[in-house]
Structure 1
Amino acid sequence: MRRRAAAALVVPLSALMLGASSCGVIPEDWRTPAFLKSDEEQLDERLPTATGPVGEEPEVSFPDIDPPKEQISGVVHKGEGESELVRSDDMLLVDIVDYDWTGKGKTEKVQSTYETGAPMLLQLGQMTEELTADLIDQPVGSRVVYVFPPSDPTTGQPSEEGTTSVSVLDIRGRYGKGDVVPGEQTTDGGGDLPTAADAGRAMPDITIPDADPPKELETVELVEGEGPEVESGQQLVVQYTGVTWNDGEVFDSTWTRDGTPATFAIGVGQVIQGWDEGLVGQKVGSRVMLVIPEDLAYGENAEASGSPAGTLVFVVDILGAVDTQPAPEPSDQPEASAEPEASASPDGE
C-alpha cells in the first residue's frame, strides 16, 4: 500500500534503454529492415553474439565491423517451455549487461546487473513497441540483444556523433495480471481477527469480526511461502486488498486495477509503517493478512489528507522480492552548478 494512491510506479531500467525510449517512439531514421522481429529465424549478422546460460553473465563477442547506424535487435537464445510466455502487459524480472561500442574492435562494458547482484523489474506496458517486440511471446529464460546507435541527448534523434550502445537482456521471470501465490491457504484467520477465505485468482473477501480492533500490529500467515525472506530495501511485487476495520469497505486493491501486481520498496519508509514492519521477514510466496493500528497506518489526521482512517486490514500476496541497484559511487568531478537540485518526494510526486 503506497502512501498515496496517486504515487507513480517507478520502473527500474538500464539508463541505456531509458534513453532509447525517452521520446516515446524510436526515431523514423532507426526504423529499418535491420530491426528484426522475434519470430524471424535469421539474425542480423551485425548483432553481437552472447553465449552462456541465462542466469549467468553472458560472454559477448562483437563482429569485426564499425557499429551499425540503425537500431537492430534479436532473440539470440530462446528459453525452454511454453508455459511461461511473456505477455504484453507483464512485469519482467531481467538481468541486463550494457556495453559501449565506439568503433571497429572498440568496446567497453558499462554495467552489469550480474555484477551488482540486483536484477531489474521492467513494466512492458511503459515501454515502446520497438523495445518489447522481441520480448512478447518469448519464454522465460530467453535472451535478447539490442543495438542502439548514437542519439542527440536533447532531441533523441539519431546523431553522427556519440557512442553506440549494446544491451544484452536475460528474461529471468515474469509477473502477470491475476497472478497469486501458488501455495495452499492453511488458515482464514478468524477469532478476534478478520477472516479472508481463499478466493483463488479473485479479490479476497475480508470479513471484520464484531470486536474491537487490536492495539498492536497483527500478522497472520494465510499461505506459507517457500521462497527467501523479504529483506529491507528490496522491491516487492505484490497483489493486495485493503479494507477499513470500521466498516469493512475496500479502499484500495490491485484487483480493482485488473489484477496488475504492484511494486514498491519495503522497509525504507516508502509505504506505511505497518507494511514495513509486517512484511520484512516474510517469505516470498506467502499470503499475509496484516491488521494495522492507526498509529502504524495513516495516523489520526488520515481523513484530513484523504487517506483511510483508523485500523486497516490488508491481505497481501508476496509474488517476488528483488534486490535494488546499489547507489552510484560519488563522482570526483566538480559540480557544474552551485544551485541546489529539486528532490522528489518519497512517494514519487
Structure 2
Amino acid sequence: MRRRAAALAVPFSAVLLAMSSCASIPEDWKTPAFLRSDSDQMDTRLPSVTGKVGEAPKVDFEGKAPPGEQISGVAKKGSGEGALIRNDDLLQVQMVDYQWTGKGKGEQKQSSYERGAPVLLNLEEMSDDLRKNLVNQPVGSRVVFVFPGQDPEEAKAMGQPSPEPGDQVSIVDVEKRYGKGDIVDGEQTTDGGDGLPTVPDAGHGKPEITIPEDTDPPKKLKTVDLIEGDGPEVTDEQQVVVQYTGAQWSDGKIFDSTWDKGGKPFTFAVGQGQVIKGWDQGLKGKKVGSRVMLVIPPDLAYGKDAPNGAPKGTLVFVVDILGAVDSTPPPQADAGDGDKKDDKDAKKDDEKDSKNKDDEGKKDDGDK
C-alpha cells in the first residue's frame, strides 16, 4: 500500500526520536546497560523505577545525580508469555519522560498513561544501541533510558532555545508486539462473490484473490468482512496495524502485499490522508481481528490513469486488521483565565471572522 503522504511519524518521545540515529550518539555516551560479572546487574546510576507494568511508574531520583551520558537497562522483565521481542518488531508501548535536573531531583514532562494513548514503536527504525534492551525481552517488560542533555552552546549555535538543565529519562513499558507473519484469528464466514472477487478460505496467510470474469467492477466502494473480528471498531485518527494484499481488477495481478515482504505488518493513521481514500473509508468502523475485502473504485484509489507506476483502475485489497491504538494527542495548553476560550475555539472563531470578511468583500465586488 503506497502512502499518499510523507512517511508516518511515530508519535514517540522526542528524546528517543532525536537519539534514534546512530550518528547522533557520541561513542563515549554509549554505556552498557548491564555491568557484566557472574550475573547481570542493573547500572546503579539509573534512577529507581518501581510499580506495576501497565500502570504509571514511580520514579525515585533520591541520592543520585544525572550521569551526563547515555545509559539504559531493564527495570522489570515481563512474564515470559509468548514470543520474545525481535529487532524488527513493531511494539505497542506506554511512555513516560522525566527531566533529571540535579541530584535527587526530577520532573515529569509527559506520560502516555495520562494521555490515554499508547505509542507504536518501530524497532527497525531504531539504532542497535537503543533497541538492545528491548530485543529478546518478553512483552510486559519495562526499560529505562537516560540521555544526556544538549549542550547550551551547541543549541545556541544551531539557533535553538536554551535546553533545560540535566539529563532526560524515558521509561518504556511494552504492552504488545507485532511481528512478521502475524495473522488474525477467527473463522472465515464468506468467500465474497456475487459479482465481487472471491477469496477462498486457505488459512490465515497470504490470500488468493480471483476477479470474476466478464463482470464490470462496482462504481462505488464495496467492503466484505471475510473474517469478522471481535475487537473494538477502528476509528478516525487511530494508528492501525495491518497485513494486506492488493490486486488490480483489470487483470487480477497482485501488485503489492506485506506477505511478499516477509509478512511484516504495515501501519498508518486512519483518516489522515496517509493512504488512499478507499482505505480510510473502508476500514473505518471495522473490528480489530477482521479480514476485510475492499473493492475500491478509481476515484478512491489512484485514478484511471495512475501516475508514477501506481496501480490503475479499480483495486481489490484483502486487509487483516491486527491492531489499532489511539494516536497520542498533543499536550493541552494552559487554560489561563476562566473566561478565555481554548485555542481550538478561538481558531474556529478567527476562521469564521475571516470567512465573513471574505464574503463581505465578494458581495461588494458583485460576486455571489
Query: Which TM-score bucket, shorter chain as reference?
Result: 0.7 to 0.9
Q: CA deviation at 1:195?
A: 1.0
Whole-Å separation in 2 of the counterparts to 1:132 and 1:100:
21
In structure 1, what residue type is equivalent to 2:72?
A: S
Deviations 1:27-84 (Å, cap 9, x if unpaired)? 21113356558x9631122211222221111111113121112222111111113423
The residue aligned with 1:288 is 292
The residue aligned with 1:187 is 190
The residue aligned with 1:20 is 19
Helix, strand or coil for the counterpart of 2:268?
strand
Whole-Å separation in 2 of the counterparts to 1:25 and 1:36:
24
Whole-Å separation in 2 of the counterparts to 1:254 and 1:25:
31
Q: CA deviation at 1:307?
A: 2.0
The residue aligned with 1:263 is 267
The residue aligned with 1:174 is 177
Helix, strand or coil for the counterpart of 2:42?
coil
Q: Percent identity?
A: 63
Judged with a 3 Å threshold, the aligned counterparts in structure 2 of structure 1 residues 200 and 27 are, in CA distance, closer, same or farther, namely farther
Instruction: Give the conservation status (yes or no) of the 8 Å contact 1:72–1:147.
Output: yes
Whole-Å separation in 1 of the counterparts to 2:39 and 2:133:
10
Whole-Å separation in 2 of the counterparts to 1:247 and 1:165:
55
Q: CA deviation at 1:172?
A: 0.6
Whole-Å separation in 1 of the counterparts to 2:149 and 2:75:
23
Helix, strand or coil for the counterpart of 1:207?
coil
Q: CA deviation at 1:86?
A: 0.5
Helix, strand or coil for the counterpart of 1:314?
strand
1:64-83 to structure 2, matched below 5 A, reads 64-83=63-82
Q: Which moved more, 1:118-127 or 1:56-65?
A: 56-65
Q: CA deviation at 1:224?
A: 1.0
Helix, strand or coil for the counterpart of 1:295?
helix
In structure 1, what residue type is equivalent to 2:134?
A: L
Helix, strand or coil for the counterpart of 1:171?
strand
**2:218 aligns with one of 214, 219, 226:** 214
Judged with a 3 Å threshold, the aligned counterparts in structure 2 of structure 1 residues 290 and 71 are, in CA distance, closer, same or farther, namely same
In structure 1, what residue type is equivalent to 2:244?
A: Y
The residue aligned with 2:314 is 311
Q: Which moved more, 1:165-174 or 1:143-152?
A: 143-152
Instruction: Give the conservation status (yes or no) of the 8 Å contact 1:36–1:73.
Output: no
Q: In the comparison of the two structures, how many residue pairs are matched?
A: 326
The residue aligned with 2:355 is none
Instruction: Give the conservation status (yes or no) of the 8 Å contact 2:207–2:245.
Output: yes
The residue aligned with 1:41 is 40
1:245 maps onto 2:249 in alignment: yes
Deviations 1:191-223 (Å, cap 9, x if unpaired)? 211111234353211000112111221111011
The residue aligned with 2:231 is 227
Whole-Å separation in 2 of the counterparts to 1:331 and 1:57:
23
Q: Which protein has the larger Cα radius of gyration, Structure 1 or Structure 2?
A: 2
Instruction: Give the conservation status (yes or no) of the 8 Å contact 2:241–2:322.
Output: yes
1:8 maps onto 2:7 in alignment: yes
Task: Give me the TM-score of the superposition, normalised by structure 1.
Answer: 0.86
Instruction: Give the conservation status (yes or no) of the 8 Å contact 2:62–2:105.
Output: no
The residue aligned with 1:111 is 110
Judged with a 3 Å threshold, the aligned counterparts in structure 2 of structure 1 residues 245 and 260 are, in CA distance, closer, same or farther, namely same
1:128-207 to structure 2, matched below 5 A, reads 128-152=127-151, 162-200=165-203, 202-207=205-210
The residue aligned with 2:305 is 301
Instruction: Give the conservation status (yes or no) of the 8 Å contact 1:46–1:63.
Output: no
Whole-Å separation in 1 of the counterparts to 2:21 and 2:8:
16
Judged with a 3 Å threshold, the aligned counterparts in structure 2 of structure 1 residues 40 and 13 are, in CA distance, closer, same or farther, namely farther
Whole-Å separation in 2 of the counterparts to 1:128 and 1:109:
25
Judged with a 3 Å threshold, the aligned counterparts in structure 2 of structure 1 residues 187 and 48 are, in CA distance, closer, same or farther, namely same
Whole-Å separation in 2 of the counterparts to 1:19 and 1:313:
38
Which protein is richer in helix relative to its size? 2
Q: CA deviation at 1:234?
A: 0.7
Q: Which moved more, 1:115-124 or 1:198-207?
A: 198-207
Helix, strand or coil for the counterpart of 1:66?
coil
